[in-house]
Structure 1
Amino acid sequence: MARMTAAQLQDEIDRLAAENAALRLEQQDQLSVLASENAELRVEVDELRSVTRLEVADAIEEHVVATSGRRSRWWTVLSVCLIVIGLVLAPAAVVANWAANELTDTDRFVATFAPLADDPAVQAYVADEIVTTIDANLDVEGITDQVFDGIDSLGLPPAASNALKLLRKPAVSGINSLIDNTVNKFVKSQAFSDTFAQTLRITHGQLNATLAGDPNAAVSISKNGEIGIELGPIIAQVKTALVNNGLTFAQNLPAIDKTIVVAQSDRAATLQTAYGLGVAAGAWLPWVSLAFLVAGVLVARRRLIALLATSISLAIIMILLGSGLRIGRIIFIASLSPLVMPTDAAGSIYDAVVRFVDATILAVAVLAITVAVVTWLSSSYRVPVALRSVYGGWVSALRRTGDARGVTTGRFGAWLYRQRVLVRVAIGVIAAAVILFVRPLTPAEIVWTAVIALVLLGVSELLQRPVIVVPEEAEEDTPVVVG
């Protein structure tokens, strides 16, 4: 009886254990259902909260727009006015900066005009002017006649006297040819280049004095608007060369006070006033223009669009200014050629004058276009977003490949990621400084500057290791740097 009772007790225990296990399974199923329902409720709550936030945000935005619409319009008007003023000042700032740095800097002035001494067109023009000046001040035919008359007065036979008369014109032609050859040889020599450069350096102060209105300046501006250069120092060198070649009578050549006209403009007198204003404004006008442009972008409601429009407008203005210089070249040559100087000489002189202005215009235009491209790529338009997504995918893939092979930047990459904005700005500022301040600026230098800047930006992005926020549920040793 005791065994039966024990067996029944064991069966009862097994039955209770089975019921307990079934109950646990049922409870787990109920907990799973409750968890699922709880998750669905949380999603619904989150959706309701999102909808509520959007409704509140829309209501707040509508309220702000309704209450501050007029104020926003005034900020927009102010932004447009500031940007327009900055854009209007930009061409004047370029010219003023050129005047201040080109005309007041002796080294740059010599570097601009000294190459003209090696220009064949300018050499031919200067040689013609020197020969014409010598002919006007040295009576070669009269001196030759005196020599032949002296010989003839010695009582030569009639046949010899007649032969001597026949030699007069060839002798004059030979002397004139020797003068021409001597002048052309000197003008094409290194001595002329050195004399020309030295004269430019010495008379640079005279040029400033000319534009300042000093009547004793070597480079003069007449009342008729004629701009001339003093030939005295160059003719003195030619005189020495003629004497060294055996034409000792060239010693009788007097000191020449000859000015050749290199330009003529009815507004030449106004140039003196403009020069003074340009030199005075050259140091600060570019910064004033930049300050207006920056202020206009900062006060704009949509700064990205304002920056994009400003940079595009600035690039267009620089292109128009460069086109104006090309038109000015045509007008300059037409006003001088062929009455004052040959066409090719006038073109060479104009190109030398505007060389640094062209470089400045090119630098500002390239910088403006670069800013416009970078701004567009940073915008939320569909194409830039897609390009950034593709680029980001490539960079992430390269990072993961490097991390998988043990090539990682670790903490340095995390620090570089935190300083990414500063690094980008630094690279941009350095590239902009190279474009703005390197003179003369060549297309190759522009391309290489852009390529190097892009490579540095790409390398900095590749070295970065983005820092993620650790969830509160995560353990303390969860990594905070991901590839």
Structure 2
Amino acid sequence: MSEVEELRARLRALEQENAALRRPQRRLSARSAIAGIVLVVAVLVAPIAAMGTWARLQLVDADRFVATFAPLAADPDVQDFVADQVTAAIDEQVDLDAVVGDLFDGLRALDLPPRAESALGLLQAPAASGLSSLIDGVVHDVVSSRQFADIWAETLRFTHERAVAILQDEPGTALQLGDDGVLSVDLGVVVERVKEELAARGAGFADLIPVIDRTIPVVQADALVLVRTVYQVAVTAGFWLPWVVLGLVVLGVLLAVQRPRALLWTSLGFAVVFLLLAAGMGIGRGFFIGAVSPSIMTAAAAGSLFDQLTALLGSTIVALALVGMLIAIWAWLAGSSRSASTVRGVVESGFGAVRASAEGHGLSTGRFGEVVDRYRGAILIAGMAIGVLVLLATRPVTLGAVIGVAIGLLVLAILVELIRRPAPSVAEPAAVLTREG
């Protein structure tokens, strides 16, 4: 009977501990207040960390910069914009009407018959128009060719290297940002390619096109006024700021009295701020297009430029919002609410039935299962920590990476539930001893 009394005493002690844990906290402790402040700061800094990482990848890494903007060479709106700019540059430097006029004046000096001279007058205007159409066609052919895509990529890389040198205040830089801060692509290379193509088609007037020094903007000036500051921040903090956010979250959750609840609201906060940031990008797109068109480029070209520039940032924001939602779901399941307890009970009953069926067929994990059961919480938390570290280490965070990590964690949780071998609860032997007594 002494063993029965001891078991009953242990049951009463456990019930008292549960009652103490469920007793509502009426006063906000200093520890909870500090935890709340730390977690709020982490949520507010998270979008800045995402933007800083994106800026670091786009502005510091030349390969990433070229990979972002190189596809624009195949965009029809961008091709039309570049072709129009090249044609306008040639027209400004070469007076086609004067060239055709000189040619026809030379023909008239040959003392042609009256009818032939009259015909020359009728042909002069169509000849000038045909020459202009020829140049326009060649320009569009060049701009839509693979050679132009290669020129575009090479020019982007060279422009990026010069821009980085400017942003880093390196002496002796050939390209200088103007007062309006426009970062531009040199059209001289494209014009030279057009001259080569015209010469290959037998257009002798190609030699009349001089060396043209003209640039077109790649990134609008108003953004680059901020880019210099963003670049410095990206270099110094773009890599470390996400780790700072992670550290703040860990610290805040450890300080919180109700850790699952703190993690739940923090994760929901992350999801909300990233969704708001995604909405802000949509609004920013409209402002960007309105700011650069039509004085800088067409609205279609500006839209293509903005979409290409922010494609990586947009996918990262969506991925991070999904991370927040997934962690919030896990925190809710780990909480003490009645609905979460019900869900956990159903899941544990299901896995318990599977384990019991396996043991009935002679399949048991034995001591290893008991160890897994003892450290089940630590294993799951370690898995989540590793998943978060993987996402931070493989930046930029993508939707595919988030889904992959989520599936990996789900598989880990299922394996833990199948492998673990729970020890008999205290209530079971107590109930048996009560029935025997």
Q: What interval of TM-score do these two structures reach, taking the shorter chain for normalisation?
A: 0.7 to 0.9
Equivalent residues in 2 for 1:386-405 (5 A)?
386-405=342-361
Contact 1:144–1:172 (CA<8 Å) still a contact in 2?
Answer: yes
Q: Secondary structure at the match of 1:167?
A: helix
Contact 1:220–1:228 (CA<8 Å) still a contact in 2?
Answer: no
Name the aligned partner's letter for residue 287 of structure 1: W
Name the aligned partner's letter for residue 399 of structure 1: R
Deviation string 1:381-401 (CA, Å, 9 cap, x unpaired) is: 011111111111111111122
Task: Give the match for residue 332 of structure 1.
Answer: 288
Cα 1:415/1:235, change in 2 over 3 Å: farther
**In structure 2, what is the Cα distance between the partners aligned to 1:51 and 1:436?**
44
Listed as ranges, the gaps of 5+ residues in structure 2 are 430-437
Of 86, 91, 98, which residue of structure 1 is paired with 2:54?
98
Cα 1:180/1:415, change in 2 over 3 Å: same
Deviation string 1:347-388 (CA, Å, 9 cap, x unpaired) is: 110011111211222222111111111000001101111111
Deviates most, 202-211 or 147-156 = 202-211
Please tell me whether residue 251 in structure 1 is matched to residue 169 in structure 2: no
- Cα-Cα RMSD: 3.4
Task: Give the match for residue 159 of structure 2.
Answer: 203
Contact 2:43–2:269 (CA<8 Å) still a contact in 1?
Answer: yes
Identity of aligned residues (%): 37
Task: Give the match for residue 76 of structure 1.
Answer: 32
Please tell me whether residue 346 in structure 1 is matched to residue 302 in structure 2: yes
Cα 1:153/1:391, change in 2 over 3 Å: same
Of 95, 107, 110, which residue of structure 2 is paired with 1:139?
95
**In structure 2, what is the Cα distance between the partners aligned to 1:433 and 1:157?**
88
Q: Secondary structure at the match of 2:324?
A: helix
Name the aligned partner's letter for residue 385 of structure 1: S
Equivalent residues in 2 for 1:41-56 (5 A)?
42=5, 46=8, 50=12, 54=16
Task: Give the match for residue 315 of structure 1.
Answer: 271
Q: Secondary structure at the match of 2:179?
A: coil
Cα 1:92/1:424, change in 2 over 3 Å: same
Of 92, 107, 117, which residue of structure 2 is paired with 1:161?
117
Name the aligned partner's letter for residue 465 of structure 1: R
**In structure 2, what is the Cα distance between the partners aligned to 1:394 and 1:124?**
62
Equivalent residues in 2 for 1:10-409 (5 A)?
42=5, 46=8, 50=12, 54=16, 73-212=29-168, 221-266=177-222, 268-409=224-365
Name the aligned partner's letter for residue 96 of structure 1: G
Cα 1:152/1:434, change in 2 over 3 Å: farther
Contact 1:86–1:293 (CA<8 Å) still a contact in 2?
Answer: yes
Q: Secondary structure at the match of 2:335?
A: coil
CA drift at 1:212: 3.7
CA drift at 1:112: 0.7
CA drift at 1:405: 2.4
Q: Secondary structure at the match of 2:185?
A: strand
Deviation string 1:23-56 (CA, Å, 9 cap, x unpaired) is: xxxxxxxxxxxx8xx999x59x95799499959x
CA drift at 1:261: 3.2
Contact 1:262–1:340 (CA<8 Å) still a contact in 2?
Answer: no
Listed as ranges, the gaps of 5+ residues in structure 1 are 1-34, 474-483
**In structure 2, what is the Cα distance between the partners aligned to 1:377 and 1:218?**
60
**In structure 2, what is the Cα distance between the partners aligned to 1:52 and 1:93?**
44
Task: Give the match for residue 10 of structure 1.
Answer: none
Contact 1:106–1:201 (CA<8 Å) still a contact in 2?
Answer: yes
Q: Which has the higher contact order (CA 8 A, sep 6+)?
A: 2
**In structure 2, what is the Cα distance between the partners aligned to 1:383 and 1:440?**
36
Q: Secondary structure at the match of 1:341?
A: coil
Deviation string 1:107-152 (CA, Å, 9 cap, x unpaired) is: 2111111111111111111111111111111222221212221122
CA drift at 1:278: 2.5
**In structure 1, what is the Cα distance between the partners aligned to 2:359 and 2:281?**
55
Deviation string 1:168-227 (CA, Å, 9 cap, x unpaired) is: 111111111111111111111111111111222233211212434569767764313444
Q: Secondary structure at the match of 2:217?
A: strand
Deviation string 1:398-418 (CA, Å, 9 cap, x unpaired) is: 112222223444444344434
Contact 1:87–1:314 (CA<8 Å) still a contact in 2?
Answer: yes
Q: Secondary structure at the match of 1:256?
A: coil
Aligned residues between the structures: 425
Of 384, 393, 416, which residue of structure 2 is paired with 1:460?
416
Deviation string 1:449-478 (CA, Å, 9 cap, x unpaired) is: 43443234213321332345899x9xxxxx
Name the aligned partner's letter for residue 152 of structure 1: R
Name the aligned partner's letter for residue 351 of structure 1: D
Name the aligned partner's letter for residue 401 of structure 1: S
Name the aligned partner's letter for residue 122 of structure 2: L
